[in-house]
């Protein structure tokens, strides 16, 4: 278990005190329809679903996981090893497949897609954080995003760049649907190693 000082050091590193790729921008994600009734075989780390529609590099989360010891619900995974109806999951883009130790009898796989389009066009927004205290830290500003009509915001992501960059984390937010072009304000963002 990390001490509070250790947690503060790690969090301050994420906001740019030490690393080469700190969190500098926030992003908004919509979730595609869940891919239901996915199964998986622990001996191969392959998940299977006919016509899953996923591609290598897709960002996904898992829900209603039955089996699959070693996998976590709502954790950001990247799709790798797509071959026909089979695919694997990695904790990093284009990384090694996660080794799960029990078969998956059922799981829902939800693809997260970054919002795009609109006029003015959506783009990631800069975000800053206060110094860490007691193993957590809060954003020091409230980024405002332009969001196109028809978009649905389900998640916020934290990246090291305005485009591409490293995804450092995601957080589910209260779903908000945009019937027309509008704005989305991220009123509070917390990074917490105590949770």
pLDDT tens per residue, range 85-138: 999 999 999 999 999 999 999 999 999 999 999 999 999 999 998 988 888 889
d(CA 87, CA 78): 10
Residue with tokens 């899953």: 52
The reported pTM is 0.90
Question: What CATH number belongs to 31-112?
Answer: 2.40.30.180
d(CA 61, CA 26): 18
| Bridge-based pairing state of the strands 46-48 and 86-90 | antiparallel
Q: Tokens at residue 61, please?
A: 């989360």
Q: Tokens at residue 175, please?
A: 């779903």
pLDDT tens per residue, range 156-181: 999 989 999 888 889 999 999 999 99
The CA-CA-CA angle for residues 173, 81, 14, to 5°, reads 40
d(CA 34, CA 14): 31
What was the pLDDT predicted at 168? 84
Contact 103, 117 (CB under 8 A): no
Contact 26, 156 (CB under 8 A): yes
Sign of CA dihedral 47, 53, 57, 59: negative
d(CA 187, CA 183): 12
The enclosing H or E element of 170 equals strand 167-177
d(CA 16, CA 129): 9
Res 1 pLDDT > 50:
no
All structural domains of the chain with their residue ranges: 4-30+115-192, 31-112
pLDDT tens per residue, range 37-87: 999 999 999 999 999 999 999 999 999 999 999 999 999 999 999 999 999
């Amino acid at each position: 278990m990390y001490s509070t000082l250790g947690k503060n050091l790690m969090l301050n590193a994420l906001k740019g005190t030490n690393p080469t790729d700190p969190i500098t921008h926030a992003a908004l994600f919509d979730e595609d329809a869940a891919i239901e009734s996915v199964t998986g075989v622990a001996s191969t780390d392959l998940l299977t679903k006919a016509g899953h529609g996923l591609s290598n590099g897709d960002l996904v989360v898992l829900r209603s996981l039955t089996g699959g010891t070693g996998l976590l619900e709502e954790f950001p995974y990247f799709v790798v090893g797509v071959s026909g109806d089979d695919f694997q999951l990695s904790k990093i883009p284009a990384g090694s497949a996660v080794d799960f130790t029990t078969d998956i009898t059922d799981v829902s796989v939800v693809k997260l897609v970054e919002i795009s389009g609109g006029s003015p066009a959506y783009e990631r927004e800069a975000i800053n954080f206060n110094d860490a205290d007691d193993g957590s830290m809060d954003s020091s500003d409230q980024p405002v995003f332009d969001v196109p009509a028809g978009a649905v915001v389900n998640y916020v992501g934290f990246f090291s760049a305005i485009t591409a960059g490293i995804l450092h984390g995601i957080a589910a937010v209260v779903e908000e649907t945009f019937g027309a072009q509008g704005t989305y304000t991220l009123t509070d963002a917390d990074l917490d190693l105590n949770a």
